[in-house]
Amino acid sequence: MMELVVAVVVGARPQFIKAAALSRAIAERADKGLRPVIKQVLIHTGQHYDYQMSDIFFLDQGLPAPTQHLGVGSGAHGEQTGEIMKRLEPVLGDLSPDVVIVVGDTNSTLAAALCAAKLKIPIAHVEAGLRSFNRTMPEEINRKLVDHVSDLLLCPSAHAASNLKSEGITMGVHVTGDVMLESLIWAQSDPDEVEEVLDHYGLTSGAYAVATVHRAENTDDPARFAEIISALEALAVSGLSVILPVHPRTAPLLHGRAVPPSLKLIDPVGHSEMLALATASRIGLTDSGGLQKELYWLGIPCVTMRDETEWVETVEAGWNILAGASAESITNAAQKLLEHTPTERPPIYGTGDASDRIIGILIDRYGKAQEH
Ligand code: UD1
């Protein structure tokens, strides 16, 4: 039987969301009986392992349980990346897939791409071409290296493809749109479910801000972190309450801090609950890449608490302000967006068919041999 064997390597929270979109599109092909048959082997590195950081995303997104779980867990960058490579190499070697799909820019992405490259297995990078041009970010190192060893570079936007061109990468580059848009459409709650989430947290639709902080550049720098929390506290006492699902990296930094009651610190939430919180919010404040786009798609303005963003289109469209990490610039940016929320939202990351496009590209490139 004609079969294309695709190994998908995931490990961290945002990757589960993106892989789920692809996985659903693969399952739909199978339901329709389309050829070639795509056999997906899902490999979880174990970079994220808590229920709230991992399992809940598999349940939320209907992602099948991983075929292989490498159980790597946390560690310093070298330790984590090296351990994933050590455990993944024999798995990929035995499996010998037609292509390895890696997603995003985490240590799991880098480790998997390096393993596959050394094993001479083709690599398809989903979310290729993103750049912050800040080489102190671990993610920037990861994504650059991954792009340079990938055979297929699947870009969410034309801008991402132009970043690759300026680094001399032109072969195998495709603009597919963003798979996260499909996950958002899939996981979006209906109004009753949103209401339930708001009741649970004691929130009123349109009267609160949703916030997240987890980037190493913010959490590992006490001065930046203090400014960000001061900004969220100031916002929370100004009449707009703030809800902050706390990433495990951030939790110890907030331990014992007396924040105003209108700054609600909650445990990390699953994707559908996060989308419900974003949908009914008045504004978002974040250092996450994914949330910047989700807020845009939902028509909620966003303050990005970083010095740069990979998602420049959201800034150009006027929905996202890059505020850095000073309390004053964060509160000023929030004020500005609250007073003048833009209205136009061009479809900057595609129209929600990125997974089908990606699958089509994989079949064109790697499916032909099996068809003869
Ligand atoms: C990683 C990615 C980042 C992505 C983020 C999403 C890298 C370099 N960074 O950062 O790009 O935005 O995932 O969350 O890969 N921890 C737990 N339980 C877990 C997972 C982590 O307690 O299930 C704690 C551990 O103390 C760990 C820390 O969080 O040391 C950081 O986790 P790690 O996987 O190293 O990176 P993230 O900060 O999550």
pLDDT computed for residue 372 by the predictor: 45
Contact 151, 238 (CB under 8 A): no
Q: Give the C-alpha separation, 232 to 246, whole Å.
A: 13
Average the pLDDT over 210-230 and give the result: 97
The rounded distance, in Å, linking the Cα atoms of 273 and 355 is 23
The mean pLDDT of the chain is 96
Q: How far is the CA of 47 from the centre of ligand 1 (A)?
A: 7
What is the distance in A from the centroid of ligand 1 to the CA of 162?
29
Among 109, 218, 249, 291, which residue has the most ligand 1 atoms within 8 Å of its CB, making it the best to mutate?
Answer: 249
**Alpha-helix residue ranges (DSSP H) falling in the chain:** 13-31, 56-61, 77-95, 107-118, 138-149, 158-166, 179-187, 191-201, 216-219, 222-236, 251-254, 271-279, 289-298, 312-316, 327-339, 354-362, 368-371
Q: What is the pLDDT of residue 2?
A: 75
pLDDT digits 0-9 by tens, 127-153: 999 999 999 999 999 999 999 999 999
Digit-coded pLDDT (tens) for 19-76? 999 999 999 999 999 999 999 999 999 999 999 999 999 998 889 999 999 999 999 9
Q: Residue 227 in contact with residue 269, Cβ under 8 Å?
A: no
Q: Which of 55-64, 170-179, 198-207, 261-270 has the lowest mean pLDDT?
A: 55-64
Question: What pLDDT does 368 receive?
Answer: 66
pTM: 0.96
